[in-house]
Structure 1
Amino acid sequence: MLNLLSLENFKSIKDEDFELANLTLFSGFNGMGKSSALQSLLLLRQSFDKHILPSIGLSLSGEFVNLGNGKDLLYAYAENERIKIETCWDDTQLILNFDYDENSDMQPLNSSSIVDKDAFKESLFVANFQYLSAERISPKSVYDVSEYAVNQRRTLGAKGEYTAHFLSQHGDENIVISDMLHVNSATKTLIDNLNAWMSEITPGTKVITRLIPEINQASLHYQFASASELTNKFRPENTGFGLTYVLPVVTSLLSAKPGDLLLIENPESHLHPSGQSVIAQMMAIASQNGVQILVETHSDHILNGVRGAVKNNKISQDNVIVYFLSRDINSEEHEVDVEKIEIDSDGRIDRWPNGFFDEWDKSLNTLLEGK
């Protein structure tokens, strides 16, 4: 498991250490660096995939993220023109220092870096890695297919664009983590459990996927259960964004295995609050069973769903870390302040910094104020 991420002179982060747990949530105001923590790991992965790590440097443009050039990466008030990304696992460590090249999308690796080649056998760099960006697939009837992504790397694509293909190929496989089996699923297969979990988000949902080899596409449709029968098939375009947007998230959690690493941005997008709570519960169960999940979220329902999972013993409090990123507007530097938020065994938060999922209370106080 990835235990530590340390960043120096990385975008708006001057110098911060992030202890990482099985389930780590990054929250905070827009533009405060939530994405930066995940982006640093994505840069390492795409640079390794391009074969420029661990010997040449850091690629700022690629499959997972495009950050521009060196001037877009270096902390604006850096005292030295060097960027550091340090990652630590149980037995391995990478301390990567990169020289600054202002106008290049590749930052050269500095010779002072400490590289343990065994680190590149960890989940961040191998097949049991999945990243789902905030910009996921939009509803449509057919999607691209990829033999390499789906069957060699077992990935859904950064936008979840291969989810329909993945389900058509692997939907009949049994789920590895028994605690992820839904009580209403008749079998242990991925597709049956997917439908059961999706039905908690929208009642009676049935996902139908099919590989269409003659056009090299995969189709996606939905049906919904009524009292006595299933509806006709609906195109995703006629069911709204929520179901299709969350489908890769649910699929990634159900198909995950112990030792996998999942990076997920905004799992709550386009979801009803009750659906967001379901996703939080699923993430907690998967994390408790050895899947490491790093999440960027704006949702108090995700946070409270995780808190409820701790209280209900779905996940140990020791396996959850929450970070709140903010900035002192009176500071002369655009520097991120990072606060680690603790959750106790009853799901209670140890403190509530200003801006930390407190908008509901502020709005309620406004409504209760006298005229």
Structure 2
Amino acid sequence: MLEKAANKENNILLDGHGSIEEIKNNRVKENISLQVRDENNHSLTATISLSSDLKIDIKDTFDYPEVIYISANRFGPQTSIPIYNNSAKKDRIGKNGENLLQCIELLGDTVLDERLRHVNAEGDTLEYNIRGWLNTVSPNVGFKFHLEKMSDSSYSMFDEHRANNVGFGLSYTLPVITALLMGTFIKNSLVIIENPEAHLHPKGQTELARLAALCAVVGAQIIVETHSDHFFDGIRIAAKRHGIAEDVQIHWFELNEHKNTEVYSPILSEDGRVSEWPKGFFDQFEINASELI
């Protein structure tokens, strides 16, 4: 919404979510104020009037980042994936994974920070490390892709099998890995990932969190929405190993009995410990384990 506001778009609602009457909380009467502030104290503030015409007042001294957004609704295994012909988007990923493979082809030779190099990667480039990290998440799997530019489509293969003949985790994870790595070299970018853990086993979820943390170490700005305690533990481990606890913000959202959202923000310490554990905050493993004692 803030991105649309910054671009002065008339309809700042997210596509496909209907009118303001459908999405607003009817128990809230006051206006909503959203603010983004960068490290140089530049800010963008959007004050939104909850009227039927959704009036918005913008105060902007902010250089809005390029958003690299991978949604929870991203493509699973597909026979083909569309590619973009628009020159402005040819090297960018769509929110559902559109244009992913053309993006890898065009940016694949980009040299990454050496700290991101996967131990099994054949080189320092984006494509080599996509393959390396994909192999960590799903061990011993080869990855190939091909573009059909005359039909604006592309397809991927895993161990010479088409994508819809292998596990869902490969297709769901590929755009996540690519977006995270891209966030380390696209200047003034913000990577937003929904449910990176989808269709991955616990080790793969933890490794993906390690990659996200490494990308943050080299300067990527990342927002992750997750339901995975394995991913969360991966971030905690990375905070302990790489000293990034001060750069990690944790927010837990819970709907109260009045249908309003309460936000808890535990603090992560340098040793990966969490300052507080609100009820329901990644505590189900302990609850289940206590039932088995």
Matched, 1:59 2:59: no
| 1:299 Cα deviation from its structure 2 partner | 0.3
Q: Which runs of 5 or more structure 1 residues have no equivalent in the other structure?
A: 1-42, 224-232
2:171 corresponds to which residue? 244
1:131 corresponds to which residue? 69
Question: What RMSD over aligned residues (CA atoms) do the two structures have, in Å?
Answer: 2.0
- Code of the residue aligned with 1:115 in structure 2: it is K
| 1:304 Cα deviation from its structure 2 partner | 0.2
Closer, same or farther: CA 84–74 of 1 in aligned 2, 3 Å: farther
2:250 corresponds to which residue? 322
TM-score, scaled to structure 1: 0.73
Equivalenced residue count is 290
Mapped to 2, the partners of 1:164 and 1:300 lie a distance apart of: 30
2:145 corresponds to which residue? 209
Indicate conservation of the 8 Å contact 1:195/1:205, yes or no: no
Q: State the secondary structure of the residue aligned to 1:219.
A: strand
Indicate conservation of the 8 Å contact 1:308/1:347, yes or no: yes
- Code of the residue aligned with 1:148 in structure 2: it is N
| 1:58 Cα deviation from its structure 2 partner | 4.9
1:193 corresponds to which residue? 129
2:2 corresponds to which residue? 44
| 1:70 Cα deviation from its structure 2 partner | 1.5
2:55 corresponds to which residue? 108
2:36 corresponds to which residue? 87
Indicate conservation of the 8 Å contact 1:74/1:83, yes or no: no
2:199 corresponds to which residue? 270
| 1:73 Cα deviation from its structure 2 partner | 3.5
- Code of the residue aligned with 2:51 in structure 1: it is D
| 1:100 Cα deviation from its structure 2 partner | 2.9
**Percent of residue pairs identical:** 27
Mapped to 1, the partners of 2:149 and 2:277 lie a distance apart of: 53
1:345 corresponds to which residue? 270
| 1:246 Cα deviation from its structure 2 partner | 0.6
- Bigger RCO (CA 8 Å, 6+ sep): 1
Mapped to 2, the partners of 1:351 and 1:288 lie a distance apart of: 25
Q: 1:158 aligns with which of 92, 95, 116?
A: 95
Closer, same or farther: CA 143–358 of 1 in aligned 2, 3 Å: same
Q: Larger deviation: 291-300 or 185-194?
A: 185-194
Cα deviation, 1:272-302, whole Å, max 9, x if unaligned, reads: 1111011100110111211110111000001
- Code of the residue aligned with 1:272 in structure 2: it is H
Indicate conservation of the 8 Å contact 1:141/1:236, yes or no: yes
Mapped to 1, the partners of 2:165 and 2:143 lie a distance apart of: 14
Closer, same or farther: CA 95–277 of 1 in aligned 2, 3 Å: same
Alignment of 1:355-370 (within 5 A): 355-368=280-293
Mapped to 1, the partners of 2:77 and 2:29 lie a distance apart of: 47
Indicate conservation of the 8 Å contact 2:213/2:235, yes or no: yes
Mapped to 2, the partners of 1:205 and 1:170 lie a distance apart of: 22
Cα deviation, 1:182-208, whole Å, max 9, x if unaligned, reads: 122121121211111111111122221
Q: 1:285 aligns with which of 210, 214, 225?
A: 214
Matched, 1:171 2:108: yes
Q: Which runs of 5 or more structure 2 residues have no equivalent in the other structure?
A: none
Mapped to 2, the partners of 1:336 and 1:153 lie a distance apart of: 39
Closer, same or farther: CA 152–114 of 1 in aligned 2, 3 Å: closer
Matched, 1:221 2:179: no
Closer, same or farther: CA 154–214 of 1 in aligned 2, 3 Å: closer
Alignment of 1:137-156 (within 5 A): 137-148=75-86, 152=89, 154-156=91-93
Indicate conservation of the 8 Å contact 2:197/2:228, yes or no: yes
Cα deviation, 1:6-53, whole Å, max 9, x if unaligned, reads: xxxxxxxxxxxxxxxxxxxxxxxxxxxxxxxxxxxxx1223445x42x
| 1:83 Cα deviation from its structure 2 partner | 2.8
Closer, same or farther: CA 208–324 of 1 in aligned 2, 3 Å: same
Q: Larger deviation: 194-203 or 204-213?
A: 204-213
Indicate conservation of the 8 Å contact 1:174/1:189, yes or no: yes
Q: State the secondary structure of the residue aligned to 1:347.
A: coil
Which portions of structure 1, spanning 4 or more consecutive aligned residues, are displaced by more than 6 angstroms? none
Q: State the secondary structure of the residue aligned to 1:78.
A: coil
- Code of the residue aligned with 1:122 in structure 2: it is Y
